[in-house]
Amino acid sequence: MTIELLIAPAATGKTATCIDQIRAAQKENPLAQVWVLVPNQQTAAQFRARLAESGGGMGVRIGFFHHFYQEILEENGRFVPVISQALSHRLIQETVREVSTSGDLTHYDAIKDKLGFFSVLKDSFAELRSALVSPEAFLDYTRGSTPARHELAILYERFLAHLGTLGWIDSEGQVWLAIEALENNSATASHVSLVVVDGFTAFTAAQRRFLKLLGQQADEMIITLTGEPESARMVHRRAQKVLQELDADLSPKIMTVNHPALLGTPNLHMEKYVLNPEAVEECELQEPIMLEARSQSEEAREALRWIKQLHVRQSIPLNRCAIYTADLNTYQPLLRAAADEFGLNLRFSQRDPLSESPAILSVLNLLTLPLENYPTRTLLNALHSPYFQFGLENQDVENLEKVCRQAIIVTGKDQWDAAWKMLARKRQDYAEALDEERYRPDLTANVDLLALKQRLERFWDLFARIESPRSQARWVEWLETLLSNMSFYDLISTERDRAACSSLGEALRALVVSEKVVGEREVDYGQFITDLQSALNSVNLEEPTEARKNAVFIGKLVEARGSRYQAVALLGFSEGLFPIVENPDPFLDEDLRKDLGLEPRLQREQASTFYQAFTRANTHLLITRPYLSEDGEAWEPSPYWQAAKALFTGQAIIKIQSFEGRPQAEAASPQELLFWGVQQRQLIYAEYDELQQRWQNLANAHRILDARRAKHAEGVYEGDLFEQASSLAQRYSAGHSWSASRLEAYGNCPFLFFVNSALNLEISKPLEPGLDPAQVGSLYHRILELVYSESMINHTDPLEILDSVAARVFESAPEMFGFRPSALWEVEKSQRLEKLRKSLQALEAERGAWQPIAFEKKFGIQGTPHLELKLSGGKIRLHGVIDRVDRNPNGEIRVIDYKTGSSHLGRPDLQKGLRLQLPIYGMAAQDALQLGEVVDGFYWKINDACASSLQLSNFESEHGKGIEKAYQVTKDYISKYVARIQEGSFMPEPHNTVCPSYCPASQWCWRYRAGYKNE
């Protein structure tokens, strides 16, 4: 029947006083019932431990408010189930839908489907419940007010009505029932001898009301509060406010304790003087307690390094250490990454949403595939996922990827259906390396397409019947069947994934139960997935038990209360991080909060939060801040940092600027030690076996990097494969058949040749509908070949038959060249025809007496004779396809090669050995195909409608002029290139000042030079 309020500064023995009270109550009556209310798990565990140390806690129940609400209700014979987070979320969603359907939602109608809106409503309803605001009072208050407020009141009222219909209660609503029970039965808690309320920094109106009624029924109640009764310091302002509220509602007897605070020197000094307007003494420190790091990521590492040092050197258990920060969302992943590297367990107060679990993300990605029309990349990712078994082997999925690339499947099942047909009928011999203009490898040459297609059918069947709408329960049933057919649950192997599956079950149950509450309603597949995503967002992922063992606690600054640790690090003391920037709540504005008794959102007492946080440390304290922002600008310190800094002299602050002079003994992981060792050019702990091998590897890496950073490329790390010379000489021996484009690739950059031709690496580009450059080249070549061959046979003007020939080729082009026409194909056809017309007109205008006599003349392919060159290093065999051969009335020959691009077709390109195709074709026409004496040749630039400046007849170099000189230069280059290839000389040296974009190494080559223009 007595309520005492024990108010005193931090660490002065309030909890010890409570434990003494418990011991005294139990001494008087060994069966005394004692209830201890604490704010969080950590405080509960610590209270339990201290009680045990003091002699035992038989008959003492330690729990949170909601445990005792439940106790009160059970005492009164009421068993009201508490709604789960997922079901609460679903119920809010259904409430919004219902209110919208009834036409009562206008202001919020535009955001009625947003997941964020449901979360905001959930928080707002919880706040209203905690402030004991009844739906009727809220409706009354908002009548005649803004639509925003009134609609919120309607939603609140309907949500609570739904809960009532369900016969369940939300966690914040439990207190209402407990209060009602205490009011209706004054003997409910009369068996309780002592109630201890320890570790809280504030109480909601509902909690104060509950405590008042409980205090009236129990024999004794003691509430502790950290602060000073008459203090004017900023750090105690919140305690003053709470004191007034408790005084007004509970009229407690105010007491205090006069013990000195049991804190380490630095935080004891801060406890006395920080933000104290009165004169302060400075305290000299020999050890830093404040640390400035360059970034938030380094700050997280430094804090964990500090904790690991205390753990290793001073044997402080990890579960006696904590880190608090105002911005946990930012620091959580940074701390997790550093802790993984340092081998530390962390336990976060804030759990990750279920929807971020890899297993659940995979399920969501799979389920959204039909809604997005099966985008190829996402589809292939799903097929590769280790969480599903689709009846496809790894090789099958790789073959499916090849099918996509070959048939350019961008999205949709219809494209897959068309692709199978197209690939079955494809007529072009892809395997033929015609020239670089037209080369498309046949990726599916050795794939059993029919069998693969049949195996993929099983995947399509999964989504075969999603068209018809059905109830949520039926959709959930469908999903469960789908997951079990894909062995999803059988493939789960980690504790984290198992926890995710159990939370998934909770979310699915919420969907089914919510339907029972609001009535069955059929929804389509898209709506089901939206509802499922929403339910998954509302459920958090359980932390695996293993991760919780002997772990450092990580929480938000506002959660720093009640519990105490031996070591505490406070992160993020820079401007804008802490104190946090306060913004008004757009849903529950400040006036409404004031009128209805809700906590304000502005002018929260953040100095009190700071005080609570740094006084959580018994002996070791570290306050950190980043001093550079992401863009490298200086980041100003927080005013609280400045206030703490002003209290100390000596070595209080350390600024981490680089690791170069850092003692290696401070490294927190082998990686870090090695990294510092490399920076400092010496590893102090090199005698450890584990480090020796890694240090050796790093020394090798260092040599490689040095070689790659050298001005000139040379040596074994720079493409010099002389050790492989014998196998290369064998591979590229006299029997090898060369194409002009391969030799030109070597001329452009030896490493390009090595990557592309020796290693067979290719660039994998994102799939896009329409033609790729090789297909455009093939299309143009085919039309020009048919136009000239038919005009020759029928003695017609090539220009006259261009349209009809082009129409025929266009018609069969998608199938013949294996591409998917884009939506612009019709427009594209007329543009390409126009280009061809102009080109043909120009080609005809320059033809003079030349008559085309042969087209697509192969040499060295399909049984045709090779061009064989007898060079200084031995015999070289070449193959290729000559686009066109003309003859003049004298029986002389010229060769023409069509090009869609127009760059690098000049005389200097042959002089430098970058373009060898034309002279090779000239020699082939004359010597291999015996078509006659070749006197000229040129490239025809189709898009530019003109011949190249490189012409065989007018070639000249420093050694002379004419076609024979062109041949000689070409042979010299071929001889040189082949010899170097056989020697294994592949140094990355682009002959042009820039690297071609088609170079497969351009993504990672350390000698890459940007600036290439595709033409």
Does the footprint of ligand SF4 cover residue 1001 (CB under 6 A)?
A: yes
Query: What are the backbone angles phi and psi of residue 505, rounded to the nearest 5°?
Result: -60, -40
Query: What binding mask, one character per residue, do residues 83-112 give for ligand SF4 by CB under 6 A, x or -?
Result: ------------------------------
Does the footprint of ligand SF4 cover residue 1002 (CB under 6 A)?
A: yes
Does the footprint of ligand SF4 cover residue 747 (CB under 6 A)?
A: no
Q: How far is the CB of 753 from ligand SF4 (least distance, A)?
A: 9
Cis peptide before 773 (omega within 30 of 0): no
Q: How far is the CB of 709 from ligand SF4 (least distance, A)?
A: 14
Strands 60-63 and 946-951: unpaired
Evaluated on CA atoms 841, 842, 843, 844, the torsion sign reads positive
* 763 C-beta neighbours (distance < 10 Å), count: 12
Contact 755, 719 (CB under 8 A): no
In this structure, the dihedral spanned by the alpha carbons of residues 300, 301, 306 and 309, taken in order and rounded to 10 degrees, is 150
Candidate segments 45-53, 123-131, 697-705, 744-752, binder of ligand SF4 by CB under 6 A: 744-752
Q: What is the DSSP string of 766-779?
A: PP-SS--HHHHHHH
Evaluated on CA atoms 907, 930, 783, 889, the torsion sign reads positive
CA distance 971 to 989: 21
Q: How far is the CB of 702 from ligand SF4 (least distance, A)?
A: 22
Q: How far is the CB of 1005 from ligand SF4 (least distance, A)?
A: 3
Q: How far is the CB of 745 from ligand SF4 (least distance, A)?
A: 9
The DSSP symbol for 632 reads: S
Applying CB under 6 A, among 751, 810, 939, 940 the residue interacting with ligand SF4 is 751
Strands 874-887 and 33-37: unpaired
Does the footprint of ligand SF4 cover residue 995 (CB under 6 A)?
A: yes
Give the CB-side neighbour count of residue 98, counting CA atoms within 13 A: 20
The encoded tokens of residue 199 equal 């570790």
Q: Roughly how many angstroms between the first and final C-alpha of the chain, as a whole number?
A: 91
CA distance 83 to 74: 17
Query: What are the backbone angles phi and psi of residue 361, rounded to the nearest 5°?
Result: -60, -40
Q: How far is the CB of 990 from ligand SF4 (least distance, A)?
A: 4
Q: How far is the CB of 754 from ligand SF4 (least distance, A)?
A: 8
Contact 986, 750 (CB under 8 A): yes
Residue 580 burial class via C-beta count within 10 angstroms: exposed 0-12, middle 13-18, buried 19 and up: middle
Does the footprint of ligand SF4 cover residue 903 (CB under 6 A)?
A: no
Does the footprint of ligand SF4 cover residue 912 (CB under 6 A)?
A: no
The encoded tokens of residue 229 equal 């009764």
Nearest to 258 by CA among 229, 280, 283, 238: 229
Q: How far is the CB of 814 from ligand SF4 (least distance, A)?
A: 32
Does the footprint of ligand SF4 cover residue 1007 (CB under 6 A)?
A: yes
Q: Where are the alpha helices (DSSP H) in 646-770?
A: 670-680, 689-709, 725-731, 740-748, 750-753
CA distance 660 to 668: 15
Candidate segments 346-354, 643-651, 801-809, 1000-1008, binder of ligand SF4 by CB under 6 A: 1000-1008
Does the footprint of ligand SF4 cover residue 202 (CB under 6 A)?
A: no
Nearest to 496 by CA among 370, 684, 373, 361: 361
Candidate segments 159-167, 333-341, 512-520, 746-754, binder of ligand SF4 by CB under 6 A: 746-754
In this structure, the dihedral spanned by the alpha carbons of residues 643, 647, 652 and 657, taken in order and rounded to 10 degrees, is 30
Q: How far is the CB of 985 from ligand SF4 (least distance, A)?
A: 13
Applying CB under 6 A, among 626, 814, 913, 988 the residue interacting with ligand SF4 is 988
The DSSP symbol for 171 reads: T
Q: What one-letter code names the amino acid at 228? A: E
Q: How far is the CB of 763 from ligand SF4 (least distance, A)?
A: 11
**Closer of 637 and 988 to ligand SF4 (Cβ):** 988
Applying CB under 6 A, among 752, 783, 843, 934 the residue interacting with ligand SF4 is 752
Applying CB under 6 A, among 11, 510, 740, 999 the residue interacting with ligand SF4 is 999
Residues 6+ apart with CB under 8 A from 822: 769, 770, 828
**Closer of 439 and 587 to ligand SF4 (Cβ):** 439
**Closer of 504 and 1001 to ligand SF4 (Cβ):** 1001
Contact 698, 680 (CB under 8 A): no
Contact 319, 550 (CB under 8 A): yes
Nearest to 17 by CA among 324, 259, 210, 287: 259
Candidate segments 20-28, 215-223, 959-967, 995-1003, binder of ligand SF4 by CB under 6 A: 995-1003
SS3 881: strand
Q: How far is the CB of 764 from ligand SF4 (least distance, A)?
A: 16
Does the footprint of ligand SF4 cover residue 987 (CB under 6 A)?
A: no
Does the footprint of ligand SF4 cover residue 867 (CB under 6 A)?
A: no
**Closer of 838 and 1007 to ligand SF4 (Cβ):** 1007
**Closer of 377 and 1009 to ligand SF4 (Cβ):** 1009
Q: How far is the CB of 916 from ligand SF4 (least distance, A)?
A: 17
Candidate segments 599-607, 628-636, 772-780, 988-996, binder of ligand SF4 by CB under 6 A: 988-996
Q: What one-letter code names the amino acid at 503? A: S
Q: How far is the CB of 969 from ligand SF4 (least distance, A)?
A: 22
Q: How far is the CB of 736 from ligand SF4 (least distance, A)?
A: 22
Does the footprint of ligand SF4 cover residue 798 (CB under 6 A)?
A: no
* 380 C-beta neighbours (distance < 10 Å), count: 16
Q: How far is the CB of 920 from ligand SF4 (least distance, A)?
A: 22
**Closer of 47 and 746 to ligand SF4 (Cβ):** 746
Does the footprint of ligand SF4 cover residue 8 (CB under 6 A)?
A: no
CA distance 146 to 587: 11
Q: How far is the CB of 40 from ligand SF4 (least distance, A)?
A: 57
SS3 169: strand
Quote the distance between the C-alpha of residue 444 and its chain's center: 32
Number of residues that bind ligand SF4 (CB under 6 A): 12
CA distance 193 to 221: 8
Q: How far is the CB of 710 from ligand SF4 (least distance, A)?
A: 14
Candidate segments 60-68, 162-170, 520-528, 999-1007, binder of ligand SF4 by CB under 6 A: 999-1007
Residues 6+ apart with CB under 8 A from 20: none
Candidate segments 330-338, 844-852, 936-944, 987-995, binder of ligand SF4 by CB under 6 A: 987-995
**Closer of 311 and 915 to ligand SF4 (Cβ):** 915
Applying CB under 6 A, among 749, 869, 905, 966 the residue interacting with ligand SF4 is 749
Based on C-alpha coordinates, what's the Rg of the chain? Answer: 40
Does the footprint of ligand SF4 cover residue 573 (CB under 6 A)?
A: no
Secondary element (H or E) of residue 566: strand 565-571
Q: How far is the CB of 774 from ligand SF4 (least distance, A)?
A: 19
**Closer of 462 and 999 to ligand SF4 (Cβ):** 999
Does the footprint of ligand SF4 cover residue 1008 (CB under 6 A)?
A: yes
Candidate segments 214-222, 556-564, 739-747, 748-756, binder of ligand SF4 by CB under 6 A: 748-756
Applying CB under 6 A, among 405, 1005, 1014, 1015 the residue interacting with ligand SF4 is 1005
The encoded tokens of residue 763 equal 């660039």
Candidate segments 110-118, 747-755, 947-955, 977-985, binder of ligand SF4 by CB under 6 A: 747-755
Does the footprint of ligand SF4 cover residue 981 (CB under 6 A)?
A: no
Binding site for ligand SF4 (CB under 6 A): 749, 751-752, 988, 990, 995, 999, 1001-1002, 1005, 1007-1008
